[in-house]
């Protein structure tokens, strides 16, 4: 019987870990999984309905570390997780993504000589100003099993000197969750609530400091969005950080004066999936949205200067456009006027990644 501690730190991590824990529980004769939520991000939307609606397992342990600076938060996670590992004595610690919890759990487990498997290993933006990039590099350097979502991630790891026998290309587990819930999301009435029609609107999400923490940059993006909205409505799901900056910079009245800019609070997973899967175009600075729009064939403009998911550009629908207002407007109108040919869904983004992850852990244990 393999004992495994699965560590999550934020709501998106649950989307990635849920199919993995489900697969482990299907093999109950061989796996004993424990789900630990560090509490790195507190999210009001993570209510009972969040777990019920998505059929996501509730955490067995919540460490409740809360928000803090990167250093303090990482230290709190390490201090709180160490006794859990001492008590449970796992064979493996499974970490996902690139948040502070990912790196902190990897460091603790490595020092306790517990093997670590990293889901979404090998992604690189080559931008060390992003805290997530630091977390990825450190996690991958220490992990014993690196479970990659794409072939370019394999190449990144090999260039960094990771032993080939540690690397397993398994596909994108986030797509497992999306495919599982796509039909269920059709029951959402979010389009009616927001008064938009299928394939007749854009969606925008915005939260990264490089886009929202500088007034001039945020103003420029919102001005570009207003011009795009003259063509078709833009639904703007406003992140709490972005909402605070809009108010701080005195931009509320400007947004309120745009009748075709539809503002909404952050949406639950099923509502948001129903929304963007029925859109004509998505503007985002989120990583996961780049992947999901690629699978669904929806044009996506990434408002960043780089991406750790280049396969969404080379094989999918994603364009990297940065945050220059003129470029955003030009690329948005071009995407609307000249839809790309049907994209190719990346290799192994087939909804069966969780099975391959659990197989790889079993095989690595025997090896």
Which among 188, 146, 166 has a CA at the least distance from the CA of 277? 188
Picking from 92, 141, 163, the residue whose alpha carbon sits closest to that of residue 362 is 92
- E strands, the chain, are 2-8, 31-37, 61-62, 92-96, 115-119, 145-148, 167-169, 202-206, 234-238, 261-264, 281-284, 300-302, 318-320
How does pLDDT run across 121-160, given as a tens digit for each residue?
999 999 998 999 999 999 999 999 999 999 999 999 999 9
Per-domain boundaries in the chain: 2-171+349-366, 182-337
Percent of the chain with pLDDT over 70: 98
Do 2-171+349-366 and 182-337 agree at the fold level? Answer: yes
The predicted-structure confidence for 17-30, as pLDDT tens digits, reads as follows 999 999 999 999 99
d(CA 76, CA 78): 5
Q: Which of the pair, 342 or 202, is modelled with greater confidence?
A: 202
Q: For residue 37, which phi and psi values (nearest 5 degrees)? A: -100, 120
- Report the top-level CATH class of 2-171+349-366: alpha beta
Distances (CA, A) of 262 to 53, 55, 235, 266: 25, 30, 5, 12
CATH number of the structural domain 182-337? 3.40.50.2000
Q: Is position 70 annotated as part of the catalytic site?
A: no
Tens-digit pLDDT profile for residues 55-77: 878 899 999 998 889 999 999 99
Rounded CA gap, 260 and 96, in Å? Answer: 38
- pLDDT score recorded for residue 10: 85
Question: 153-162: long-range contacts (C-beta < 8 A, 24 or more apart)?
Answer: 153/121, 153/122, 153/123, 153/124, 154/122, 155/122, 156/122, 156/123, 156/124, 157/121, 157/122
| CA gyration radius, the chain | 20
From 41, 118, 207, 239, the catalytic residue: 207
Q: What is the pTM of this model?
A: 0.94
As a whole number, mean pLDDT of residues 17-44 equals: 90
């Amino acid at each position: 019987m393999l004992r495994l501690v699965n560590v999550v730190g934020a709501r998106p991590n649950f989307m990635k870990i849920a199919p993995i824990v489900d697969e482990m529980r299907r093999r109950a004769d061989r796996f004993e999984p424990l789900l630990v939520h560090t509490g790195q991000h507190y999210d009001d939307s993570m209510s009972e309905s969040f777990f019920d609606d998505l059929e996501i397992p509730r955490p067995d342990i919540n460490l409740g570390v809360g928000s803090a600076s990167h250093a303090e938060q990482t230290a709190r996670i390490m201090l709180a997780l160490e006794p859990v590992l001492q008590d449970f004595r796992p064979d493996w610690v499974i970490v996902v993504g690139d948040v502070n919890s990912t790196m902190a759990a990897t460091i603790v487990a490595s020092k306790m000589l517990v093997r670590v498997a990293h889901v979404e290993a090998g992604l690189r933006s080559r931008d060390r100003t992003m805290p997530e990039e630091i977390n990825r590099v450190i996690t991958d350097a220490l992990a014993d099993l690196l479970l990659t979502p794409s072939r370019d991630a394999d190449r990144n790891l090999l260039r960094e000197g990771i032993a080939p026998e540690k690397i397993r290309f398994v596909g994108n587990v986030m797509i497992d969750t999306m495919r599982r819930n796509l039909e269920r999301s059709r029951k959402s009435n979010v389009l009616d609530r927001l008064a938009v029609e299928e394939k007749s609107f854009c969606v925008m999400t915005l939260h990264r400091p490089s886009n929202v923490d500088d007034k001039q940059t945020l103003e420029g993006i919102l001005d570009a969005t207003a011009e795009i909205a003259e063509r078709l409505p833009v639904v703007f799901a406003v992140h709490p950080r972005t909402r605070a900056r809009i108010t701080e910079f005195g931009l509320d009245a400007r947004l309120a004066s745009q009748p075709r800019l539809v503002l909404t609070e952050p949406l639950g997973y099923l509502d948001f999936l129903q929304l963007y899967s029925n859109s004509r175009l998505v503007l985002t600075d989120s990583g996961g949205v780049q992947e999901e729009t690629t699978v669904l064939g929806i044009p996506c403009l990434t408002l960043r200067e780089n991406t750790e998911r280049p396969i969404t550009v080379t094989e999918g629908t994603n364009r990297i456009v940065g945050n220059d207002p003129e470029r955003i407007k030009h690329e948005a109108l071009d995407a609307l006027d000249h839809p790309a040919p049907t994209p190719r869904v990346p290799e192994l983004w087939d909804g069966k990644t969780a099975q391959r992850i659990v197989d790889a852990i079993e095989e690595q244990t025997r090896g």
